[in-house]
Structure 1
């Protein structure tokens, strides 16, 4: 499951997985990072990032291999 946001400035962009959950839990449309400007990119080894109007949300493993969100 996920979300699709759309605005004249960003176009329609998908939000899925843990990046979508992090954005939603941070306030969704009221989140300080704003709306996504592109789909997420990355891979299952190093993690994923998604660019937003005011920043980036990522989902990456730390040194111990534990996955977590970064803003």
Structure 2
């Protein structure tokens, strides 16, 4: 890989409200950023669904799309 290689992702972000999934994804080391844990008002779990990815690798473009795009 050369300097300047990159990836651009296009998609949709949703907030995950499922408490069980939030607890599953939580790691105690995250407490340094969210002092009240999952109950912290700044804590949000996001789900990113990719529709398209464009790669610039070794001076060449390549775009891939999902079936949902």
Say which structure, 1 or 2, has more relative contact order (CA 8 Å, 6+ apart).
2
- Please give the TM-score of this superposition, normalised by the length of structure 2: 0.30
- Please give the TM-score of this superposition, normalised by the length of structure 1: 0.29
Q: Which has the larger helix fraction? A: 2
Q: Which has the larger strand fraction? A: 1
